[in-house]
Amino acid sequence: MRGPHNIIRLIRTGATLERTGAMNVVLDAFEAPALLRFVAHALGKPFQWLGYKGDPAMPPATRALTALGPAYIKFGQVLSTRPDVVGDDLAQQLRVLQDKLPPFSIEQAKAEVARELGRPVVEMFSEFDDSIAAASIAQVHRARLAETGQLVAVKVLRPGIERAFRKDVDAFYFAARIVDLFAPGARRLRPMEVIEHFDGVVRGELDLRLESSAASEFAANTKDDEGFQLPPIIWNLSARRVMTLGWADGANLGDNAALDAAGHDRRALAERVLKLFLLHALRDGYFHADMHQGNLKVAANGDIIAYDFGIMGHIDEYTRRVYAEILFGFIRRDYRRVAEVHFEAGYVPADKDVDEFARALRAVGEPIFGMDATQISMGRLLSYLFEVTERFGMETRTELILLQRTMVVVEGVARSLNPHTNIWEVARPVVEDYIKQSIGPRAVIGDLTKTARVLARFGPRLPGLVEAALVRQASEPERPRRSSWATLIATGAGGIAIGAGLMLMIDALT
């Protein structure tokens, strides 16, 4: 880590924050202590003339980050998914960050494609147009395959973007260490955790092979979903810095006039985009976490097309079941059950009072249910829920924060298509179906089957494990051995019981 380089960049950052009026906005959002505020202003105020002016029409934080360049824009976008860290107000402000930047030349793009794929562009593409979209990390070109004539989109990383991001991320780590030094008690800041999260997101987006892989996995999960399609990845023309995929032809989901002109049913589209998101989050545990109108189109046949897979969300199976039960409890207004689920999952410390927690949850749910159904926001409810659980000692779960943020975006998309969309009416059948599939008798059989498979896989090793345990017992000094033998017996008995239970259930079903 190069000190002089980072100090200079930190001074330029502080100067820009001061010049744009964003410094106090950021410090307030992070609830920065007095000493950290003093250091931040000391690095910024004397050098305001070094700061970038930015666009005065933008809100302060957005103005500052846009002026500071691609890495800061991306950092702001990532922070917008973490209201638990920056607060709701700043997160809302950062959500409008646009990373539309001037494109690099088509000659540079072609040179990058040829270098990465190892072939001249004219051999691969009969047409290769100017950039149609330029963002902070990459830009997209419309092209046509030389062999088949198929229209494709070619995504190309900006030249030198990896080095530029490494320098800025290096400076971010340096700033995080300063925060740690001058605010050791400010646990809410969690600076290193925030930068590590950002670093991981950026590393993923700087390797387009990972985005291609994400798109491929998402396509495999959703291939049978009615009314939904993804552009296929063309693997032989994709690499670390280049990704080629089929062209998504259709009307933008945010253009109501174009949708109406094409004869699409906006009410049906609003319901479908909600159902698809919930289906992917609950059924697959793998969802598109950037489902705004700019990443969604409607094909001529009415199918919703999703693209841009740089940010994907993942939720493990256990968490999905917990989330579904919580959601279903709120739908039924069964606050006691919602409270019990939090305790059963270990989200809330066991020493807290279940009834008191249930009453706090009622205070979250009832005001929302007192509103007109078309105005109830599931994303808002989840946001309120996280506030309550934090008061009861629940640790922040990043995957649920991303889920809540995406839910807010998807709700916005649905209501832009049809302002009278009843979020809960649309969600109920999806959640109920998942509950039946994942918590009922069928789910128990599935869990036992998975357990039996694991036991079967370790079956050949069992004699060796038993022999090793016996040798270890014989070589140890004389002492009570009840716990070791009890563990061994319990393990064997547990395996026998699971196997027997599984056989009985299968026998009963057949």
Least confident of 139-143, 201-205, 247-251, 461-465: 461-465
Tokens 């841009």 belong to 308
Residues 282 and 394 in one domain: yes
Instruction: Please tell me whether residue 408 adopts helix, strand or coil conformation.
Output: helix
| C-alpha–C-alpha distance, residues 67 and 53, integer Å | 7
Residues 151 and 25 in one domain: no
36 to each of 23, 28, 41, 87, 374, how far by Cα in Å?
12, 11, 9, 18, 44
List, for residues 36-94, the tens digit of each pLDDT value: 788 888 877 888 888 888 888 888 888 888 888 888 888 887 777 666 567 767 877 77
Residues 238 and 366 in one domain: no
| C-alpha–C-alpha distance, residues 253 and 417, integer Å | 8
Domain boundary among 409, 424, 439: 439
User: What is the model's pLDDT at position 211?
Assistant: 92
Q: Are 253 and 297 in contact (CB under 8 A)?
A: yes
Residues 424 and 309 in one domain: yes
Residues 118 and 169 in one domain: no
| C-alpha–C-alpha distance, residues 223 and 230, integer Å | 9
Residues 427 and 365 in one domain: yes
Domain boundary among 389, 416, 439: 439
Please identify which of the residues 84, 225, 290, 308 carries the catalytic annotation: 290
Closest CA to 172 of 278, 76, 83, 32: 76
Q: Is residue 145 scored above 60 in pLDDT? A: yes
Q: Which residues constitute the domain of residue 495? A: 444-509
Q: Are 305 and 274 in contact (CB under 8 A)?
A: no
Closest CA to 93 of 108, 79, 109: 79
- CATH number for position 134: 3.30.200.20
Residues 331 and 394 in one domain: yes
Residues 174 and 279 in one domain: no
User: In what helix (H) or strand (E) does residue 133 lie, and over which residues does it extend?
Assistant: strand 125-134
List, for residues 151-183, the tens digit of each pLDDT value: 999 999 999 899 888 888 888 888 888 777 776
Q: Is residue 276 scored above 60 in pLDDT? A: yes
Number of domains, the chain: 4
User: What is the model's pLDDT at position 487?
Assistant: 42
**pLDDT band for position 396 (50/70/90)?**
low
Residues 243 and 141 in one domain: yes
| C-alpha–C-alpha distance, residues 473 and 482, integer Å | 11
| C-alpha–C-alpha distance, residues 363 and 419, integer Å | 26
Tokens 């927690």 belong to 357
List, for residues 209-268, the tens digit of each pLDDT value: 999 999 999 999 999 999 999 999 999 999 999 999 999 889 999 899 999 999 999 999
Cα 22 from chain centre: 26
Residues 396 and 463 in one domain: no
Cα 113 from chain centre: 29
Q: For the residues 423-436, what does the mean pLDDT come to?
A: 81
User: In what helix (H) or strand (E) does residue 306 lie, and over which residues does it extend?
Assistant: strand 304-306
β-partners of residue 246 are 152
| C-alpha–C-alpha distance, residues 493 and 355, integer Å | 37
Active site residue 355: no
Q: pTM for this structure?
A: 0.73
Residues 42 and 172 in one domain: yes
Q: Output the average pLDDT for the chain.
A: 80
| C-alpha–C-alpha distance, residues 156 and 108, integer Å | 10
Residues 376 and 473 in one domain: no
Tokens 């109830």 belong to 376
**pLDDT band for position 430 (50/70/90)?**
confident
Domain boundary among 228, 247, 266: 247
Cα 355 from chain centre: 32
